[in-house]
Structure 1
């Protein structure tokens, strides 16, 4: 897929592109004498530079984009959420075109215009027009940019290459300790809660009703259970000449590790808790402490055991991922 800026000639009925020699060669290979598909740039690629992009030509219709979900606008405008996402202005500065371009005149220089909610990337010509009289389209684009920036940040941090889903957004909010700012309606959707319709104006409830309704806003923090780690500053074995080494086991901690996304692929399905080997651990057929684990998919786990040294050369040391997993457990309160 190539991203190219079109040069429109309405009077002549022509649309021209200037790909350059390298991209023109790519274009020839893609076409192979056939017709080409010309389509609007997907919103998820709004700040992608011109050139070759390795993504499907036609987006996957099975993945519902949350860009139009206005319930999330206040969430992404929250100060605490924005701290976790990074700079909105820096993201917007990478948009390489005027977002109010109408196919007619646009100045070659770009600037950023802030609106009451969000901001837009405009050329100097449209920026002057907007400062005099803001149009509805500009206001809508500014809000949409906030949504695109927020979802793009979540997607990058979760290391996925498709639109973010509601459950994935909830997981990201838990990891970053901002789940309390999620809208109630979004949490209800994530938990599959269906609200009971009011039978009449008196709001009479039957005894068989399921305790009225589920408060998903309070359920989410309760689902993040703490895993107790008992500390003994003077263990009896410390006073023995040759104490027997014990291995720390905790199925609760392993369950927590398996709930995390794979450190390599970012996937959450089929995740196992990989125990550290090498680095002085995993000797004589014995597993390391359950604390020395990190999440891997079953496929990635198999690749590791096929060639542990090669896996570490490609993906970094196991010690780094063990440390990151323990840090996440402490940050989330999984270990207290």
Structure 2
């Protein structure tokens, strides 16, 4: 539906923005979007109007009827012009693969057995925020009913989170608005009906890992 398309678009913009400058703090420009599309050989997927704006070309007038004098022989589209200007640009390595990965790895989890913090008597609680991951979670199916998800639900109870603090963004599951409201109306009744939130979380983490969206790094 429209909401799923909006969530997917927002997640894709975050991924491109992170690939371009490693930051989700500012808006993605048309020039950056076009550059990324060329480097990844997907410029054909961009709308003609977007390419014309990024190239500084005048917007194409759409008419209900055309006279013969309006037709310019050999007039090039913005896509063709962009390809001509960037024909000597080397594509990214994965663009040559016959079977590119279907999912973009958006989160990597590293293991540091030598971390100094493990020796502290009182360790400082730190909440991890991963907006790229939570945007992707919203594009998935609801864990309880299978419909399109609306929200990334942060696990409540079970020792996660704290007073006025949500659980880490890693500890989320996709829920539709109806199931999300049902959970907050009564956690006990929800878990008796659908199973423990922790079990749902483990199942979803396995899905994210098997999809290549989460990647463990030892």
Q: Could you say what secondary structure the match of 1:299 adopts?
A: helix
1:305 shift after superposition: 0.4
What is the CA RMSD across the aligned residues, in angstroms?
3.3
Q: Larger Rg: 1 or 2?
A: 1
Does the alignment pair 1:235 with 2:103? no
What are the within-5 Å matches in structure 2 for residues 42-191 of structure 1? none
Do 2:103 and 2:211's aligned partners in 1 also have CA atoms closer than 8 Å?
no
**Which residue does the alignment assign to 2:78?**
208
Do 2:143 and 2:175's aligned partners in 1 also have CA atoms closer than 8 Å?
yes
1:278 shift after superposition: 1.7
Q: Could you say what secondary structure the match of 1:305 adopts?
A: helix
Does the alignment pair 1:296 with 2:175? yes
CA distance in 2, matches of 1:302, 1:219: 41
Higher relative contact order structure (alpha carbons within 8 Å, sequence separation ≥ 6):
2
Encode CA deviations 1:7-52: one digit per residue, 9 max, x unaligned.
Answer: xxxxxxxxxxxxxxxxxxxxxxxxxxxxxxxxxxxxxxxxxxxxxx
CA distance in 1, matches of 2:112, 2:147: 37
Structure-2 change in CA distance of 1:219 and 1:227 (3 Å): farther
1:224 shift after superposition: 2.6
Encode CA deviations 1:60-112: one digit per residue, 9 max, x unaligned.
Answer: xxxxxxxxxxxxxxxxxxxxxxxxxxxxxxxxxxxxxxxxxxxxxxxxxxxxx
1:307 shift after superposition: 0.6
**Which residue does the alignment assign to 1:258?**
138
Does the alignment pair 1:285 with 2:164? yes
**Which residue does the alignment assign to 1:309?**
188
Encode CA deviations 1:286-315: one digit per residue, 9 max, x unaligned.
Answer: 211211110001221111101110011111
Do 2:127 and 2:168's aligned partners in 1 also have CA atoms closer than 8 Å?
yes
Structure-2 change in CA distance of 1:315 and 1:250 (3 Å): same
**Which residue does the alignment assign to 2:51?**
none
